[in-house]
């Protein structure tokens, strides 16, 4: 499930008419990275929780008839569009009519989720696995195979940054897995139970929908997924997976620019040119 109904106010005016999830890192929109990560993990059905003005996301994974017939008439390489192909029926959308928070967005998809465990990927968080290593969701699916229950991905941030995120109270540590004893959304830095933040990847049991049903507003006056998950601790196994890879917070301007530079520098086709350009710019 991809919650993509957010208004993207931090990127205005760029996101006035296009969804923030369609902003591109080099030449792939953010949503594409998240969908590719899910597919790599073996996930086949994608649920988009969308809102008004977000249809471009669905179009991105549809056939673009005029574009494709013109390209093929002109003998262009169609492989650039491969990642945008979806098996008919595998993209499902539901609308969150009002922006009441992440927890509310997830709850909007309850009828689609039904009785199975499901994964959530927040496309703002760009997670890049190590060279020849697995992506974040694949690492989580592997961990799920071991422990089941509920899982969140975590990473450590400097203590003064924790108040922008969901934070875990860590229990026993076993390799990449940490037992989750508590969860709190956007705590004040001096009240935070750790500096391990929830980094936008989840595997949850469907029972979370029933908890969300009764969930009141939390931090920021929004229905928080973190608060609902916190209530499930103790009733079901709950673990955190420390992602082995890199993460870029593309919900922030600096994170977005960092991701653009990092991924451009690594590209076979443009990396060398970008490096030379960056060096020129730094010399002034």
Residues that bind ligand G1P (CB under 6 A): 102, 122, 124-125, 165-166, 185, 197-200, 224-226, 251
Task: Work out how close the CB of 36 gets to ligand G1P at its nearest, in angstroms, rounded to a whole number.
Answer: 19
Cβ proximity of 197 and 155 under 8 Å = yes
Q: Taking the mean position of all CA atoms in its chain, how far away is CA 9? A: 18
Which one, 229 or 264, has the nearer CB to ligand G1P?
Answer: 229
> CB within 8 A of 150, min separation 6: which ones?
180, 202, 203, 204, 205, 208, 229, 232, 236, 237, 238, 239
Task: Work out how close the CB of 266 gets to ligand G1P at its nearest, in angstroms, rounded to a whole number.
Answer: 23
Q: Rounded to a whole number, what is the distance in angstroms from the first to the last CA of the chain? A: 44
> CB within 8 A of 188, min separation 6: which ones?
163
Which one, 101 or 129, has the nearer CB to ligand G1P?
Answer: 101
Report the C-alpha dihedral over residues 231, 235, 236, 242, rounded to 10 degrees.
50
Cβ proximity of 202 and 115 under 8 Å = no
Q: In the structure encoding, which two tokens stand for residue 257, read together?
A: 């620019």
**Distance in angstroms (rounded) separating the CA atoms of residues 214 and 206:** 14
In the complex, residue closest to ligand G1P by CB: 166
Which one, 91 or 230, has the nearer CB to ligand G1P?
Answer: 230
Task: Work out how close the CB of 220 gets to ligand G1P at its nearest, in angstroms, rounded to a whole number.
Answer: 7
Task: Work out how close the CB of 3 gets to ligand G1P at its nearest, in angstroms, rounded to a whole number.
Answer: 8
Cβ proximity of 247 and 126 under 8 Å = yes
Which one, 249 or 274, has the nearer CB to ligand G1P?
Answer: 249
Where helices occur in 74-135 by DSSP H, the ranges are: 102-107, 110-113
Which one, 157 or 262, has the nearer CB to ligand G1P?
Answer: 157
Quickly count: other Cβ atoms within 10 Å of residue 178's Cβ: 22
Task: Work out how close the CB of 167 gets to ligand G1P at its nearest, in angstroms, rounded to a whole number.
Answer: 8
Task: Work out how close the CB of 200 gets to ligand G1P at its nearest, in angstroms, rounded to a whole number.
Answer: 4
Q: Distance of CA 165 to CAs 137, 156, 222, 231, Å?
A: 19, 11, 14, 18
Which one, 19 or 251, has the nearer CB to ligand G1P?
Answer: 251
Task: Work out how close the CB of 160 gets to ligand G1P at its nearest, in angstroms, rounded to a whole number.
Answer: 15
Which one, 46 or 168, has the nearer CB to ligand G1P?
Answer: 168
């Amino acid at each position: 499930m991809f919650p993509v109904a957010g208004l993207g106010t931090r990127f205005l005016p760029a996101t006035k008419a296009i969804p923030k999830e369609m902003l591109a890192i080099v030449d792939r929109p953010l949503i594409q990275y998240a969908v590719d990560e899910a597919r790599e993990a073996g996930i086949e059905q994608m649920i988009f929780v969308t809102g008004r003005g977000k249809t471009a996301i669905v179009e991105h994974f549809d056939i673009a008839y005029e574009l494709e017939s013109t390209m093929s008439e002109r003998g262009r390489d169609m492989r650039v569009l491969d990642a945008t192909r979806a098996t008919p029926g595998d993209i499902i959308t539901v609308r969150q009519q009002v922006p009441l928070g992440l927890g509310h967005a997830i709850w909007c998809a309850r009828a689609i989720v039904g009785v199975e465990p499901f994964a959530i990927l927040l496309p703002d968080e760009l997670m890049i696995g190590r060279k020849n290593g697995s992506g974040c969701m694949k690492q989580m699916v592997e961990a799920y195979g071991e422990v089941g229950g509920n899982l969140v991905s975590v990473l450590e941030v400097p203590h003064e940054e924790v108040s922008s995120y969901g934070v875990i109270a860590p229990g026993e540590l076993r390799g990449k897995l940490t037992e989750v004893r508590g969860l709190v959304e956007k705590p004040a830095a001096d009240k935070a139970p750790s500096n391990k933040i929830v980094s936008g990847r989840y595997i949850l049991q469907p029972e979370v929908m029933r908890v969300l049903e009764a969930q009141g507003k939390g931090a920021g006056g929004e229905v928080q997924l973190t608060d609902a998950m916190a209530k499930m601790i103790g009733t079901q196994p709950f673990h955190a997976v420390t992602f082995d890879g890199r993460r870029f917070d593309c919900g922030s301007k600096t994170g977005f620019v960092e991701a653009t530079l990092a991924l451009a520098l690594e590209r076979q086709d443009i990396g060398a040119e970008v490096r030379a350009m960056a060096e020129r710019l730094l010399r002034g």
